[in-house]
Structure 1
Amino acid sequence: MKRSLIIAALVVVGSAALPGAASATGHPPTVSWRLSTTGTEAQFRGLSAVSDRVAWASGTGGTVLRTTNGGREWQRSTPPGTEKLELRDVEAFDSRTAVVLSIGPGDQSRIFRTGDGGTTWTEAFRNAEPTAFYDCLAFFDRDHGLALSDPVDGKFRILSTSDGGRSWRPNPSDRVPAALEGEFAFAASGQCVTTSGPRDAWIATGGGAKARVFHSSDRGRSWTVSDTVLASGASAGVFATAFRDRRTGIAVGGDYGKPDTAVDALATTRDGGKTWQKPSTAPTGYRSGVTWHPFLPGAAIAVGPSGSDYTLDSGRHWRQFDTGSFDTVDCAADGACWASGTKGRIAKLHLGH
C-alpha cells in the first residue's frame, strides 16, 4: 500500500465530508471496513497492526491469530495453559515477534512472548499478587514496555521490561498518585496504557468519581494525573487513549452499560493530558478503541460496539462510517488500519469509491 495513494484517498474523503463536496468522478468516496474470514468465534480485544500484510489479534479461549498476507489467511496459536484465559492485549514487532497478556485476578494475569510467529511461546511473567489484575500493555520500542494492573494497596501497579518482553519487573509505587475509591482500568481494547515516542506513556481510568488520565515522561517511573471531561462510574470512564505526539491526544470511553448512548464519551488534549476538552461533535455511542492515522496529522479512527467513526481535525468533529461492532483499532506505520472485536470479527480499512 503506497503512502501517496493513502494520503490522496484521505484527502478526498475529507473533502467529501464538507457539505456539497463531491469527488472528481462524481461518486462519493467511501471509508469502510473489509472483513476477513478468521474461522473462529473468539472475541478479539487485543490487536497489533504491523503492516498492510501483517497483523496479530488476541482474544478469548487463549486464541492468538496472525496474518502475513493481508488477512486472506490466519494462523492460530495458543500460549501454553491459556485455553481458559482471555488474552486481552497483544503487541507485535514484526511477523515473528509478539507479546501477549492474559487478564484476571492472581495468577490468571500472565505475559507470554514468541519469536517464531507463534509456533512456540515462552511465559515471561505470572502474577503472584492475589489482588493484582493486569489489564493491558504497551511498548515504547522493541525493547522497552509497560504492563498495567488495577490498583494494589491503593495505587496502580506497573511492570516494565527492557528486553523486549522477555522479563518484567515492578516499578516502584512511591511516585504513582493514589487511586480514587473504586478506580480501575478497563481491559476492553488493549489501550488502557499507551505510549508515544521513547519516554511518554498514559494510563486511562474509570470506575471512580472522576475519569482520569495518568501521564509519565520517564518510561513509567513517575506519574502525574489529571481529571478528564468523560463520564465515570462503575461501567464508565476513559477506556482508551491515543497520542499522535507527546502533546496531542484523544481519549475515548463512555458507559459500556449504555453502548448506544454517547454522554461525555470523547475528549481531546493539546497539552499531553493536563487538560481535556469536549469535541464539537462526538460519536453516537460508547467507544472502546482509538488510533491515529500515521500520514495525516488530524486523522484518527474510533471504534466501539455501535460503530466506527473518523475525524480529520484532531478530534473536534467526527463522522460515523460503519455500524458494525469492533472493540479495538490500530494503524501500522505503512498506513494500513485494522479493527477487531466480537465473534471473530477482524477487518482492514478500505479507502476508495
Structure 2
Amino acid sequence: MKINIKAITVMIKKISLLLGVIISSTAFADKVQLLDPKVSFQAVHRNGAHIWASGTNGGIYKSTDNGQQWNKIEGPKDSENLQFRDIQPLGKGGLIVMSAGEGDNSRIYRTHDSGKNWQLQIAGQRASTFYDCLHFINDQDGWLYGDSDEDGLFILATNDGGISWQRQALPFAAQAGEGGFASSGTCLNKGQDGNIYVGTGNGISPRVLIKNGQDWQSLDVPLPGGEAAGVFSLQQAEQWLYVFGGSLKEQGKAAKALRYNLVSKQWSSLPELPLKSAVYGSALIKKDNKIHVLIANPQGVSVWQEGADNWKSLSNNNIWSLACDDQLGCIGVGKDGLVESFTFH
C-alpha cells in the first residue's frame, strides 16, 4: 500500500496542534500551603505576582512572588477579633481592608506605609449596618456595598481615597431583607467594560445593580430568592456578565452559575455545577483566547472552559476566594490559613 507521507505529516501536525491546545488549556492545583491555622482567609486580591489575603482574627498576609512565600502584615490596633472579608492594594505601600460584621464591626481601614500605620476610615453607625464588599477603581475612587437598612439599598462611594464616603441615591427601592454575601469580596466588581456590578440576595428576587456612567440599572437574575439565597459573586468579561450563587439553605442542591449576554440581553445557564449549595467566590482567566471560569466554596474549586460541556474539579479543599492572572495562574484562599495555587498549561 502506498503511504502518503505528506498527508500523514499534515495529519500529525494537526493532531499535535490540537493536543497543544488541549494541554495548554489544562488546569491543575500545584501547591497547597497552610499559613496560619488561626486565620480563615475570606478574600484575596492580586496585582501580578503581588498577592494579598485577609480573613478572620484580623489576619492579613502578602506575597511578592506569586504565592510562593508569604509575610504577615500587622493589622490595625485592636483588630484581632475582626473578620477582614475584603482587601485591595492602593498604590505604593497603600492597602485597604474591609471588615464585615454587625454595627461598628463593619469597618474600613487604610494604610499608606504597608501596615506600619493604619487609619480607620469609616465604621457602621447603626445596628443594622453590615458591609459585604469593597472595590476601588484607582487610588481615589472606590465603592462599598452593604446590607440594606432603614434607608434602603446601601451603596457608598468615595473619590478621595476613602477619607469621606457618600451614600448613593438609587432610582429603585430595596426589597425586604435585601443585601449581599461577604463570602469572597466579589459581590461588588468593576467589569472590563468599566461598569460597576453589584449582586444582591436575601430578597424575593435576586438581582444585579449596574452603574453605567451616571445611571443605575436593576437587572433581575433568574435564581431562587429568599433568605440566604441569591447572587454571591460576579465577574464581567467581553460581552458576558457571569453570575454565581445559590442558597445556603439548600445544602444538597447544586450551586448556580449563569451568564448574561450584555449585547443580546439574554440569560443562559452554564453546565450544572459540581459544587453544592452556593458559590462563594469566582474568578476569570483567559488562556488560548478562551475564558476559563473558576468557582469556589467549602467543597472545593472547579473550572469551566468556554464551550465545554461540563466542569472540571481542581480541588476538594475549603476555598472561599479566588484571584487570577492570565500569565501567572490563580490563587485560592480559605479555611484555617489555606492557600492553594492553580496552574494552566
Residue type of the alignment partner of 2:262 = D
User: Given the alignment of the two structures, is residue 230 of structure 1 paired with residue 227 of structure 2, yes or no?
Assistant: no
Specify the structure having the higher radius of gyration (Cα). Answer: 2
CA distance in 2, matches of 1:275, 1:299: 20
Displacement of 1:149 after TM fit?
A: 1.5
Aligned to 1:86: 83
Aligned to 1:169: 165
List gaps (5 residues or longer) in structure 2. Answer: 1-17
CA distance in 2, matches of 1:84, 1:214: 31
User: Given the alignment of the two structures, is residue 203 of structure 1 paired with residue 210 of structure 2, yes or no?
Assistant: no
User: Given the alignment of the two structures, is residue 287 of structure 1 paired with residue 279 of structure 2, yes or no?
Assistant: yes
CA distance in 2, matches of 1:105, 1:162: 25
Q: How many positions carry a matched residue from both structures?
A: 325
CA distance in 2, matches of 1:313, 1:168: 41
CA distance in 2, matches of 1:13, 1:127: 53
CA distance in 2, matches of 1:215, 1:274: 14
List gaps (5 residues or longer) in structure 1. Answer: 1-10, 17-22
Displacement of 1:199 after TM fit?
A: 4.1
Evaluate the alpha carbon distance shift between residue 302 and residue 29 of structure 1 in structure 2; reply closer, same or farther with a 3 A threshold. Answer: closer
CA distance in 1, matches of 2:244, 2:21: 22
Residue type of the alignment partner of 1:310 = V
Evaluate the alpha carbon distance shift between residue 244 and residue 257 of structure 1 in structure 2; reply closer, same or farther with a 3 A threshold. Answer: same
Secondary structure of the residue that 2:73 maps to in structure 1?
A: strand
Pick one of 261, 267, 292 that aligns with 1:299.
292
Displacement of 1:297 after TM fit?
A: 4.1
Secondary structure of the residue that 1:213 maps to in structure 2?
A: strand
Residue type of the alignment partner of 2:334 = G
Displacement of 1:288 after TM fit?
A: 1.0
CA distance in 1, matches of 2:264, 2:315: 29
Residue type of the alignment partner of 2:183 = A
Evaluate the alpha carbon distance shift between residue 199 and residue 313 of structure 1 in structure 2; reply closer, same or farther with a 3 A threshold. Answer: closer
CA contact (8 A) 1:160 1:171 kept: yes
Pick one of 58, 63, 67 that aligns with 2:63.
67
Aligned to 1:56: 52
Evaluate the alpha carbon distance shift between residue 198 and residue 321 of structure 1 in structure 2; reply closer, same or farther with a 3 A threshold. Answer: closer
CA distance in 2, matches of 1:33, 1:210: 39
Displacement of 1:197 after TM fit?
A: 4.3
Aligned to 1:5: none
CA distance in 2, matches of 1:310, 1:327: 14
Secondary structure of the residue that 2:269 maps to in structure 1?
A: coil
Aligned to 1:249: 241
Residue type of the alignment partner of 1:57 = A
Residue type of the alignment partner of 2:175 = L
Displacement of 1:12 after TM fit?
A: 6.2
Question: As a proportion of its length, which structure holds more strand?
Answer: 2
User: Given the alignment of the two structures, is residue 181 of structure 1 paired with residue 176 of structure 2, yes or no?
Assistant: yes
User: Given the alignment of the two structures, is residue 327 of structure 1 paired with residue 324 of structure 2, yes or no?
Assistant: no
CA contact (8 A) 1:299 1:314 kept: no
Evaluate the alpha carbon distance shift between residue 95 and residue 261 of structure 1 in structure 2; reply closer, same or farther with a 3 A threshold. Answer: farther
Q: TM-score, normalised by structure 2?
A: 0.85
CA distance in 2, matches of 1:67, 1:36: 12
Pick one of 15, 30, 35 that aligns with 2:22.
15
- Taking only aligned residues, the RMSD between alpha carbons, in angstroms, comes to 2.7
Deviates more, 1:39-48 or 1:252-261: 252-261
CA contact (8 A) 1:228 1:275 kept: no
CA contact (8 A) 1:150 1:157 kept: yes
Displacement of 1:36 after TM fit?
A: 2.4
1:218-273 deviation line (CA, Å, top 9, x unaligned)? 3xx6421122122222122110001114x41211111223445315x111111179
Write out aligned runs for 1:253-292 (5 A): 253-259=245-251, 261-263=253-255, 265-271=256-262, 275-285=266-276, 286-292=278-284
Aligned to 1:149: 146
CA contact (8 A) 1:13 1:29 kept: no
1:151-182 deviation line (CA, Å, top 9, x unaligned)? 122521111122333x1312332x24212122
Displacement of 1:14 after TM fit?
A: 6.2
CA distance in 1, matches of 2:263, 2:307: 14
CA distance in 1, matches of 2:58, 2:264: 34
1:22-65 deviation line (CA, Å, top 9, x unaligned)? x9xxxx9551152224133311111111222x211111111111
Displacement of 1:128 after TM fit?
A: 1.9
Deviates more, 1:273-282 or 1:37-46: 273-282
Displacement of 1:122 after TM fit?
A: 1.5
Pick one of 109, 112, 123 that aligns with 1:112.
109
Displacement of 1:125 after TM fit?
A: 1.4
Q: TM-score, normalised by structure 1?
A: 0.83
